[in-house]
Structure 1
Amino acid sequence: MPFHYGPENLQSLLGIAVILLVCWGLSENKKRFPVFLALGAIGVQVALILLLFAIPQSRVLLDGISAGMSALSDATSHGMQFVFGYMGGGTQPYQVTNEGALFVFALRVLPLILVIAALSALLWHLGVLKVIIRAFGFVFEKLIGLGGASALGVSSNIFVGNVESLIIIRAYLDKLTRSEVFMMLVVGMANVAGSTMVAYVLILNDVLPNAGGHILAAAIVSAPAGVLLARIIVPETVDRKAEKVDYSSSLKYDSAVDAVSKGTADGMMVAMNIAAILVVMVSLVALVNMVLGGLPNWGGQPVTIERILGVIFTPLAWLIGIPWAEASKGGSILGIKMVLTEFVAFLKLAAIPLADMTPRTRIILTYATCGFANIGSVGISAAGFGALMPQRRPEILGLIWKALVGGFLATCLSAAVVGALPNAVYGL
């Protein structure tokens, strides 16, 4: 693999430095910058990305991931066709003149969440997911210095989501320090749930080669990024490194059937929440755009919320490695992700024609978008954390907006790390 380092890679390096500097500026104790954690966290990100994309043998793994996600999508379509017939993708009773119109988000993407949620619960009950989480917990314990419940919470966050990871460590919530609570908030917003990963892949599959590998990598590398930025903003004052990681959990199912049933119910709640949020958010954007349409044209085109967000976030898009010619589009995607949701942002990203955006920019934006750090998640996190830790609700509310900034910048840090590596790593 030829090693070539260009100005765009140095641009991403500058972005890494600026993101760390911004978080240091928000720090509650600027004298406690975690230098070794910064080196370890970014090192873990680089190592994982190289492991997945730079080693020739990793192609087998990526192909396996893509095949597995395709199988899940195909299996889900069988269930949808059984229940909804032609509306779920079955044989059409009439002549189809527009194949694209058959893609209905509610019937093609959201059902995947039900299947993945049920499968995740089953794998947890069978112990498979516990082994995977234990492996990541060991890595986080050794390489970035996490200890105790925080290592388990962060590693489980990658696969089960924000509030669900707290349920796994419920027995230790009263022992978490202020820094650990903040870290769980930030990591939760920087990550996504396993139940939504395949849905993202389905959305991006036609415009992003190796979409499954990139989404999986984005979900994993954002965890150490979230830990790092959280520790910079709210430094830890208690040494947890000597504590043994306890992988016991209060999350239990009575049987395999119970796991599938409860997993399906949880998935239904997630899918319905996503559907409701998307309906409301897309409608509000349309309403705002109608109001903005009354303003004079800007640059020969109507003023829209997407264009305004593009201007606001253009500098950040450039810092993470996106060329200036595409930074406005990238800034728009970043703004939509924060103000609306990552689902809307991914849909917008997938709608950009291949000729209108370079593959490198699309890859960087995938990592920057893959996280729950949006305004809607503030309410979800506050409610979930507050319900599980009612005695610390005022503290959580005092940290939640700062956690949104940390979680959003964590995904941008991951994107900048991706952009800082040679383009040849991704076959560009």
Structure 2
Amino acid sequence: MFFLLNILGIFVVLGIVYLCSPDKKKIKWRSILTLLVAELLITWFMLSTTIGTWTINKIASFFTWLVSSANAGISFAFPSVMANDTVDFFFSALLPIVFIVTFFDILSYFGIMTWIIDKVGWVISKISGLPKLESFFSIQMMFLGNTEALAVIRQQLVVLKDQRLLTFGIMSMSSVSGSIIGAYLSMVPAEYVFAAIPLNCLNALLLASILNPVEVSKEDDIVYVPPKEERQDFFSTISNSMLIGMKMVIVILAMVIGYVALTTALNGILGFFIDGLTIEKIFGVIFFPFAVLLGLGIQDAMYVASLMGIKLSTNEFVAMMDLKNNILDLNPHTVAVAVTFLTSFANFSTVGMIYGTYSSTLGEERSKIIGKNVWKLLVSGMAVSLLSAMLVGLFVW
């Protein structure tokens, strides 16, 4: 029964996004079906084969090594803190971001990351038949994050029509940055984080093609490549990366502190009027039907629904910290779908980040395309997370 609910959920999510599409005749169903089949094969490979499991373990070991390297720098600055048996979230999950951002920027500086993104994006474009720039961007934001990926293609964004600009805004809701993965791994199982990353990438492309179908001519189907003259020298690059990483840490820390405090305050206000009422319970009711369609029982569905609401209204870090504290009490299927759902940047604050990036890059007038379609960004972000979780859920019981 739960397996059938999980399958039904995939069709429900696709159906809802289809109903929201403004131009259903332009949807390329062959591309949609091709991407879905590819995702099923990728999920099966990662979670149900020995080679897939080995691959995920090796990738997880690589990120564990990155975090341990980062901890060496943190220990130099805070030796007494890192010597404790238990280390606070700020030191264990956030500060490693400074080094990981720098590491990925070094790979980009020498063209390694750029080469990977370009080749994988080309493969996705060939398989799906969707535009090159969108396919390229879906891979790029998986490694770099939404604002960084938008910055890389800023020269091409300037010449795009508004409807296509909206596509990139919609896709940006489902990004995840390689620099954040280490923080995720300190809280939740690695296999579902790494399963979610490629699925989010493909689902962002898939659902954007339904929610905002756009015809792209061969003349317009190109990818902008920054000239070598724009590249800074090596030491300026890594120094700037470290500063960017620290700014990212401060932003995430501020959001976690602020949103946890705000949620607690809202719960206090709600409890004043109705005893026991919390924001988590409200979101639990709203998202409960979707949690059931993940193939969950009533109790687990209520809990996962509350995590969905926490992620949307605050961010995935707050929800993951909650999940971390309860993960031993949940069955494998519940853990798999919950972790997969939480592994992305889909929330209200991300909408603001995307709008701010468009505004600074394209100007206030052209950035209005995001302001007028906030609901599409939110629908896409939640739908991508749900679809990825449902696909993973098919293989974990």
Interval containing the TM-score (normalised by the shorter chain):
over 0.9
- Are 1:405 and 2:379 matched, yes or no? yes
Aligned-partner Cα distance in 2 for 1:266–1:13: 42
Residue 362 of structure 1: CA displacement?
0.8
Matches within 5 A, 1:123-272: 123-204=107-188, 208=189, 211=190, 213-240=191-218, 245-246=222-223, 248-249=225-226, 253-272=231-250
Q: Gapped runs of 5+ residues in structure 1?
A: 1-6, 93-98
Matches within 5 A, 1:198-347: 198-204=182-188, 208=189, 211=190, 213-240=191-218, 245-246=222-223, 248-249=225-226, 253-297=231-275, 302-347=276-321
Aligned-partner Cα distance in 2 for 1:331–1:156: 30
Look up the match of 1:68.
62
Matches within 5 A, 1:28-177: 28-87=22-81, 89-90=82-83, 99=85, 102-177=86-161
**Cα deviations by residue, 1:39-94 (Å, 9 ceiling, x for unpaired):** 1221221122122222212233222112112212222221111101212x12x5xx
1:16 to 10, 13, 22: 10
Residue 247 of structure 1: CA displacement?
6.0
1:367 to 340, 344, 349: 340
- Which secondary structure does the structure 1 equivalent of 2:232 belong to? coil
The answer to whether the 8 Å contact 1:120/1:129 transfers is yes
Q: Percent identity?
A: 27
State the superposition RMSD in angstroms: 1.9
The answer to whether the 8 Å contact 1:42/1:417 transfers is no
The answer to whether the 8 Å contact 1:190/1:223 transfers is yes
The answer to whether the 8 Å contact 1:182/1:230 transfers is no
**Cα deviations by residue, 1:141-165 (Å, 9 ceiling, x for unpaired):** 1122232432322221110011111
1:310 maps to amino acid: G
Residue 283 of structure 1: CA displacement?
0.7
Runs of 4+ in structure 1 displaced over 4 angstroms? 242-245
Aligned-partner Cα distance in 1 for 2:133–2:269: 49
TM-score, reference length from structure 1: 0.87
- Which secondary structure does the structure 1 equivalent of 2:98 belong to? helix
TM-score, reference length from structure 2: 0.94
* Count of aligned pairs between the two proteins: 395
Worse overlay, 175-184 or 43-52: 175-184
Worse overlay, 52-61 or 65-74: 52-61
TM-aligned CA distance change 1:32 to 1:275, over 3 Å: same
The answer to whether the 8 Å contact 2:70/2:100 transfers is no
- Which secondary structure does the structure 2 equivalent of 1:203 belong to? coil
The answer to whether the 8 Å contact 1:371/1:408 transfers is no
Residue 306 of structure 1: CA displacement?
1.2
Worse overlay, 359-368 or 396-405: 396-405
Aligned-partner Cα distance in 2 for 1:266–1:415: 31
